Amino acid sequence: MRARRVTRDGGIAVRRARIAALVIVACLLGAAVAASAAPATLRVLLPIGGGYTEEDQQALATEFMRQRPDVRVDMEFVGWDALWDRIITSIAAGNAPDIIYIGSRWIPALADMGAIIPLDEYITQEKYDLYYPTVWDTVRYEGKIWGIVRAMSTKALLYNRGLFERYGVQPPTDWDEVLDAARKLHHPPTLYGFGLPGNRFVSTVTEFQNWLYANNGRITDEQGRATIDQPEAVEALDFYINGLGQYAQPSPVEWRREDLIRLFKSQTIGMYTDHVFSAIEAIGSGIDVGISMIPKGPRGVQPYATVLVTDSIAIPTQARNRDLAVEFALFMTSFDNQSKWDELLGFVPPMPQEASLPTFQQWYWRPFLEGIRYGVPEAVYIKDWEATQEAILTAMQKVLFKEATPEAALREAAQIINILQGFRQ
């Protein structure tokens, strides 16, 4: 009996062990199923400010998650002024998001440090053909594409039609006429002929770039060597500051381009270069606005010019969900989502098809859209835009303060840029 009890007890123990094992296996399987059912997380770093809101961008994440319930999109927001630092610190910490929204001028620096991946293999011919060719130039570096454009601006010459009529000025078609118009409009202290930004800010450089490109000047050549000191650039800076600057509002160094709209709306300046947002704002305030594309200079080879400034979507090398990141980037920039974005926020559309949408039929869009084909990227071939920008700003302000001639100021800038680009004198 004792032996039988032992046998029976042993069988019970075995059965209990088997049940326990089955429970453990079931728990493990359940955990595995739960883990497989848990959504993949996609981290996206985006800016706010400058027209960008959390609500507008979160709506895209919501729609993507509706279509892909197996994915969770976590959007992280930061102000534009802190975006670059956030990107760099996250990369340094080995914790970069899966997607980053960047100023396209940062692409060379990020590509050189190995921080982002080229996207050529993910961009089909169909996707490529959606955009103006010049738009791809803003995200191309060393023969590869590193971002997908999300927002774009072009510039044009805004002028007050009423003031032009009062002073007998015709819309200018070349630089001599621009200068003559500024002279005729100039009646200080109540009216100044041309609004000139000179503040130490990024848009001060981009406004000069309009005139630089109109005269066939460039910051560097295709090999990256500085050409900002060449005759085309020197002539452009001389015209811009010493020519138009004669008829500018007082103390240009106190003014950013973004603030000049106040002077334009108050009819304190007769004309200046700006983007479509400001044209619409001035029209809404009752100003009879005229808009012309920026005409070529004496050495120009195209009839018009504009700087192309774009923001783009890039994917960090550290992205933990690379394929999913590509999918979301393509979703964000699909024709439907891109057109909704541009219509909502009023950006110059990077896709030709968008030009047929109702929003862009308003007359004031035409110069900004036509300018795209004459556009030159803001920072192509430039490895360190922030430092290059500082060198150009310094040159501009030295000319503004009469501390140097355009030729001397740009020669010094070129020396600095060449060092930044890796060229030694």
The pLDDT of residue 18: 42
Q: Give the strand pairing for 148-153 and 71-79.
A: unpaired
Residue 216 and residue 232 in contact, taking contact as beta carbons nearer than 8 Å: yes
Q: Which run of H or of E encompasses 274?
A: strand 271-274
The pLDDT of residue 374: 96
The pLDDT of residue 39: 80
The pLDDT of residue 9: 38
- 10 or 304, higher pLDDT: 304
* Model confidence at 240: pLDDT above 80: yes
- Structure tokens given for 206: 């981009």
308-326: per-residue pLDDT in tens?
999 999 999 999 999 999 9
Q: Comparing C-alpha atoms, which of 167, 191, 184, 196 is closest to residue 267?
A: 191
d(CA 43, CA 321) in angstroms, rounded, equals: 9
196-228: per-residue pLDDT in tens?
999 999 999 999 999 999 999 999 999 999 999
154: DSSP letter? -
5-9, 350-354, 398-402, range with the lowest pLDDT:
5-9
The pLDDT of residue 285: 97
Strand, helix or coil for residue 398: helix
d(CA 207, CA 188) in angstroms, rounded, equals: 23
User: Once rounded to an integer, what is the mean pLDDT over residues 234-256?
Assistant: 98
The pLDDT of residue 425: 60
The pLDDT of residue 32: 40
User: Once rounded to an integer, what is the mean pLDDT over residues 359-378?
Assistant: 96
4-13, 36-45, 180-189, 225-234, range with the lowest pLDDT:
4-13
Residue 143 zone, left/alpha/beta (φ > 0; ψ -120 to 50; rest): left
- 52 or 299, higher pLDDT: 299
The pLDDT of residue 28: 39
Give, in degrees to the nearest 5, the angle at Cα 343 between 342 and 347: 40
Residue 305 and residue 213 in contact, taking contact as beta carbons nearer than 8 Å: yes
d(CA 356, CA 360) in angstroms, rounded, equals: 7
Residue recorded with tokens 């103006």: 132
Q: How confident is the model at residue 58 (pLDDT cuts 50, 70, 90)?
A: very high
> How high is the mean pLDDT of the chain?
91
Give, in degrees to the nearest 5, the angle at Cα 355 between 349 and 361: 115
d(CA 195, CA 215) in angstroms, rounded, equals: 20
User: Once rounded to an integer, what is the mean pLDDT over residues 128-147?
Assistant: 96
The pLDDT of residue 380: 87
20-42: per-residue pLDDT in tens?
343 333 333 343 433 445 689 99
Q: How confident is the model at residue 243 (pLDDT cuts 50, 70, 90)?
A: very high
The proportion of the chain whose per-residue pLDDT surpasses 70, expressed as a percent, equals 91
Q: Comparing C-alpha atoms, which of 331, 327, 160 is closest to residue 260?
A: 160
The pLDDT of residue 38: 64
267-311: per-residue pLDDT in tens?
999 999 999 999 999 999 999 999 999 999 999 999 999 999 999
The pLDDT of residue 52: 79
Residue 194 and residue 272 in contact, taking contact as beta carbons nearer than 8 Å: yes
User: Once rounded to an integer, what is the mean pLDDT over residues 115-135?
Assistant: 97
